Structure 1
Amino acid sequence: MSFHGSFFRGRGRGRGSSWRGGAKGVEASAPPKPLGPAIDSINIKTLLIEEVAPKIKDFEYIASYNWLDGKSPTILVPGSPPAWTPPAADPKLKPDSEEVFRDINAARYALYPMEPIFRSLRALKPEYDLQSTDIVGCGSTFGNLMRFARSESRPFRFDVDVIGDTVLFVRRESSPTEVIADLQGYGHTFPDAYTTWDMEVRNSCSHQRIVRYDFGGLKFLVRTETDGYVKLSGTDAPSRPSEPANESSVAEALESMFVASGELARDQKLKLKIKGTLIPQQQIFDIKTRASYKSFDMNEILPRLWLNQTPKFLIAYHTSGLFDHPEVKDVRQDVIRWENDNSAILARFHALVSRIVDVVRDSESKQCEASWDGQGPLLITEQIGEARRALPPDLIQLFGFP
C-alpha cells in the first residue's frame, strides 16, 4: 500500500487553525537561514533496518488542552474536542473563505510552541516521569520523517533539542504566523455546521491531544489536533479531571502552572485554566471533506490515524456544499491493516527515528536541526545563531531534568 503525505502538513482542518484574534496577515517569508556544521547524513536507501517491523504497544491518552480564541495565549486543560452534533436536515454550506494558520501552536504562542504539552501534562499527571520518554514530537515532525522514509519528495526542516535524555522535535515554519491562504472546500464550514463546542469550553479554536506509546522500544510522546468526538450516555459518559481538595491547594496548583515562561509581544504569557472533560480516545474522530465526484483514498489519512491512534474517521462527501447524511465510522481495523501492509515503511521509520535520537544525544551542543531538501540525504546539523530551547527553564526544573 502507498499513501499520500498531505495530511501531515498544517492542514487548516476544522476550526483549529483559524486566522483570528485581530491578526492582519502573514509576515513576508525570509530567505532560509544557512545550516550549521553537519553532525550526520542519513541515506534512507542504505539505512539498516530490522527484518521484522515493530508495532505500537502500551498506548495511552495522557493529556490534552484547548486553545482559547482571543489575543491572549490561553489554554484550557483538559479541554475537549467539539461534539458531533449533525443537524436534522443537511444545510447547503458556503465554501471556506478564511485564511488559516499553518501551525496553530506557534501562532498562538511563538516563544515555546511545545510548552502547552508539558503544562497540560503537569496539570493532569504531576507524577509523570518525563525522563522515561525518549522522543516528543507532533504530527508534522513525525510526518516529515515518515515521508522521508518513503522517499516522498517534500522538503522540511525542524529543530531538535535534547533535554536530559529526552529528544524533542520542534516544528519550524518560515514564520510562526504563516498562513495557508486561498483554501478551497469546506474544511471549516462543515465542522462549524456539524460539530459543537461543549459549553464549558466555548470560544475554543483547537483541541490538542497528547498520547504516549512504545514503538520498537522507543517511548513516544505525540501531540496532534483532533476534530471532534462522539458523545456517549449514562455510565459510559466521560469524566472531569479531579479538582484539588481545597482553595489553598487550588492556588498552589495554579501558581505552579502559571510560572512565567518568557515574555511575548505586549508582555503576554501563557495562561492555563482547568476546564473541560477528559474524553476517552475511543470517542474521538478526524474529518475530511470531499466533492462527491472525487473518491477519497483512505491511504491519505491512515498514516495519521496510525500515528496518533485515532479510532474513528468521517469522510463527508458533498455536491456543491450540500452534504448527504455524513456518518462517523470506526476505522480501527483499517488502521491495523495499513500497519500490517506497510511494515517495510514502518521499519525504516523506526530505524530513522532511532538513528536521529542516538546521534543528537551524543552531540556536544544538544541543539540541532533535521532537514531534507527532498532529494539527497537527511542532514542533522548544529543550530547556529541564537539558541532555540524547546522548553522554558522552570519546566525543565519541574520535570526533574538536570
Structure 2
Amino acid sequence: MAYNGIYTSRGSNYGGSTRGSRGSSNYRSTTTRDPTLPPDRDLMEGLGRDVVRALSKPSVDSKGDPVKPEDVQYLGSYNWVEEVQPTIIVPGSPPEWRNRPFPYRVRYDTGVRFVDQNGFRMAGESCLLPLFRAVDIVSEDNADTTIDWSAVDIVTDRNGLRKLMRWLQYSGADSGEPLKEFRIDLQLGGKKTVLMHRWEKRTREIATPPRSGCGINFERESTSPAKGCERSTGHHRIVQYDFDGLKMVVRFEVDACLPQSSATTTRTNKSQQASTRTTSGTSTDIDSLTDIMSSLNVASTTSASPPSEAADITVIRAGTQVPQSSIVELTTRSEKYIDEFSWAEQYPQLLLSYTPHLFLAAHDRGTFERMIEHKLGSEELRNIENNARIQRSFRQLAATLRTVQELVKDHGQRGRLTLVCQPDGTLKVYERTSQQGLLADSELERFGV
C-alpha cells in the first residue's frame, strides 16, 4: 500500500473476494476504467515470435533443511514523492504504526492507485535504477553496508519472485483460481548477475468500491508518516540474502514499521541533512529544498504527475534507516472470511522479503474491531514454513532461478530474454527486440565484465 493519497495495487475486499497484495500478479483489478489512463500494454510487445525455451517445473529433493533467506542484510531504502522529475527520499522511512485502540471506522478505497509505482515514475527507463541509487547513497553513509555486485546472482523485485511462486504452485484449471499471466524482462550484468525487470500491462488503475475494500485507507488511518517523509507516496526497501546458495538482492514495498525510540533507531549520518541532489551529483541549498517540498502535492487520489522522460533521479536526503526487525506488513479481511486467510499466498510474501511482522486486521463493513499479530519465527509460522508444499515451492523457485540464470548467461551481455507466463500455466522464454526499460551500460559497470 502507498501512503498519503496515491494508491498501490493492494486492497482489502468485501463480499469474500481475496485481498490482493501490493503489486501482486493475482490482484483482481476493477472493471471501471478511467479514460485518462492509457490502454493496457500487449503482453507480447517487443518480443520475437519464436520460443527460445519452454520451462517446466523442476523436480526437487524434499529432504534437507528448510529453504529460506539466510544472512539478511539491509542495503538501502527510499520513498517516492509526487514530482514531474523522478524524485526519491533516501533513506526515507516507512510510516509508523500508531497502535490506535479499536474500534474505528475506515472508508472504502477510491481513486487512482499504483500497480507498479517504480514503473510509472521511471517512464520506460529501467525501474531498477532507483534501487541502485538508494543502495549507492546508503553505502556512502554506512561503513558496514557494502556489496560486491559482481558476486550477486539475482537482482529483482519481490513481486517477480511471487509471480514465479504462483506459477510453481498452480495445479491447473481445476484448482479454482486462474493463473494470471505475467511477464518478466531479463538482462545480464557482468558474468552472472540476472537483472529481473518488472513488467506490467498497466502501472496504475482505479479503485472502485465496494470491491476495492478499505485496506489502503486502513493503512492511512493506522499509521503516521515519518519525519521528513510526510509527502511520501510509497516506501521501498532493498535487502540482500542467501537463498539456497543464490546471492539475492530484493526490493519490496513496506507498509509500516514499529515506532522507533532514539535508543533503537539506526543512525542516519548524512541522511538527516537538508540537502537535495540529482544523479549527476549537483546539490541545492535549504531554500531550494523548501521550494521542492512545498511543491509536492499528493492529496488528490485521481491524478499523478506525468513522469519525466529523463533518466535522472532527484534525491532528497531525509528519513531514518529503520531496522529489519521493525518492518510490518499490513493486511485486512472481512470478519466473515477471516478464517479463510491463505498462508500459501501470504507466507511467501513475508519470507521473500523477510518481513518479520504481519498485522491482520478484521473489519465489518469498514469498522475494524480487532487485529491478529503474526511474527516470523513463531511456532505457528514455523509450522507453515515447514509445510511440505510450501517448501517444495521454495526449492523449485531456487532451481528455476538457476535455470534462468544459465539461460541468460548463455545469451551473453547483449542477449535480451523475457519470461512470459500464460493463463494455462505455460512459462516460455522469448527473445526481446526492444531495448526499453534496460539498465544503461554505465550502470552495468558495477557488475564488472
TM-score, scaled to structure 2: 0.76
Q: How far does residue 181 in structure 1 lie from its aligned partner after superposition? A: 3.8
**1:125-170: CA deviation from partner (whole Å, max 9, x where unpaired):** 2542111110011122111111111125332111011111210111
Q: How far does residue 231 in structure 1 lie from its aligned partner after superposition? A: 1.2
Structure 2: segments with no counterpart, 5+ residues: 1-17, 28-33, 141-145, 172-178, 284-306
Residue matched to 1:382: 431
| Helix, strand or coil at the partner of 1:200 | coil
Q: Which one-letter code corresponds to 1:96 in the other structure?
A: D
Q: Which one-letter code corresponds to 1:125 in the other structure?
A: S
Structure 1: segments with no counterpart, 5+ residues: 14-22
**1:69-97: CA deviation from partner (whole Å, max 9, x where unpaired):** 33332111111100001335643221111
> Structure 1 residues 141, 257: CA separation in 2 closer, same or farther (over 3 Å shift)?
farther
**1:181-225: CA deviation from partner (whole Å, max 9, x where unpaired):** 425211121111110111211100101011111111111111111
Matches of 2:26 and 2:182, distance apart in 1: 18
Residue matched to 1:19: none
Q: How far does residue 114 in structure 1 lie from its aligned partner after superposition? A: 1.0
**1:320-355: CA deviation from partner (whole Å, max 9, x where unpaired):** 211114364434324433221122222211111111
> Structure 1 residues 144, 125: CA separation in 2 closer, same or farther (over 3 Å shift)?
same
Q: How far does residue 319 in structure 1 lie from its aligned partner after superposition? A: 1.5
Matches of 2:409 and 2:309, distance apart in 1: 36
Matches of 1:375 and 1:89, distance apart in 2: 44
Q: Which one-letter code corresponds to 1:311 in the other structure?
A: P
Residue matched to 1:315: 360
Matches of 1:97 and 1:255, distance apart in 2: 35
Contact 1:12 1:100 in 2 (8 A): no
Q: How far does residue 395 in structure 1 lie from its aligned partner after superposition? A: 2.2
Residue matched to 1:117: 131
Contact 1:158 1:371 in 2 (8 A): yes
Contact 2:43 2:183 in 1 (8 A): no
Residue matched to 2:187: 161
Matches of 1:271 and 1:328, distance apart in 2: 37
| Helix, strand or coil at the partner of 2:418 | strand
Q: Which one-letter code corresponds to 1:297 in the other structure?
A: F
1:394 matches 2:394: no
1:223 matches 2:270: no
Residue matched to 1:297: 341
> Structure 1 residues 234, 101: CA separation in 2 closer, same or farther (over 3 Å shift)?
closer
Matches of 1:358 and 1:314, distance apart in 2: 39
Matches of 2:238 and 2:309, distance apart in 1: 29
Q: Which one-letter code corresponds to 1:284 in the other structure?
A: I
> Structure 1 residues 326, 377: CA separation in 2 closer, same or farther (over 3 Å shift)?
closer
- Measured on the aligned residues, the alpha-carbon RMSD in Å equals 3.1
| Helix, strand or coil at the partner of 2:73 | strand
Q: Which one-letter code corresponds to 1:113 in the other structure?
A: C
Contact 2:260 2:322 in 1 (8 A): no
1:275 matches 2:322: no
Matches of 2:443 and 2:335, distance apart in 1: 48
Contact 1:136 1:221 in 2 (8 A): yes
> Structure 1 residues 389, 288: CA separation in 2 closer, same or farther (over 3 Å shift)?
closer
1:324 matches 2:369: yes
Matches of 2:99 and 2:443, distance apart in 1: 41
Give runs of aligned pairs for residues 17-32 of structure 1, distance below 5 A: 25-32=36-43
> Structure 1 residues 344, 94: CA separation in 2 closer, same or farther (over 3 Å shift)?
same
1:340 matches 2:386: yes
Contact 1:38 1:379 in 2 (8 A): yes
Matches of 2:70 and 2:163, distance apart in 1: 22
> Structure 1 residues 400, 293: CA separation in 2 closer, same or farther (over 3 Å shift)?
closer
1:287 matches 2:330: yes
Residue matched to 2:174: none
Q: How far does residue 396 in structure 1 lie from its aligned partner after superposition? A: 2.3
Q: How far does residue 317 in structure 1 lie from its aligned partner after superposition? A: 0.8
Matches of 1:95 and 1:8, distance apart in 2: 17
Q: Which one-letter code corresponds to 1:379 in the other structure?
A: K
Q: Which one-letter code corresponds to 2:317 in the other structure?
A: I
Q: Which one-letter code corresponds to 2:424 in the other structure?
A: Q
Q: Which one-letter code corresponds to 2:320 in the other structure?
A: T
Residue matched to 1:206: 234
Matches of 2:281 and 2:157, distance apart in 1: 22
Matches of 1:26 and 1:240, distance apart in 2: 41
Identity %: 25
Q: How many residue pairs are counted as aligned between the two chains?
A: 378
Q: How far does residue 122 in structure 1 lie from its aligned partner after superposition? A: 0.7
> Structure 1 residues 274, 159: CA separation in 2 closer, same or farther (over 3 Å shift)?
same
> Structure 1 residues 370, 319: CA separation in 2 closer, same or farther (over 3 Å shift)?
same
Contact 1:134 1:166 in 2 (8 A): yes
Q: How far does residue 67 in structure 1 lie from its aligned partner after superposition? A: 0.7
Q: Which one-letter code corresponds to 1:272 in the other structure?
A: V
| Helix, strand or coil at the partner of 1:354 | helix
Give runs of aligned pairs for residues 111-150 of structure 1, distance below 5 A: 111-126=125-140, 127-150=146-169
Moved more, 116-125 or 143-152: 143-152
Q: How far does residue 401 in structure 1 lie from its aligned partner after superposition? A: 2.9
Residue matched to 1:52: 63
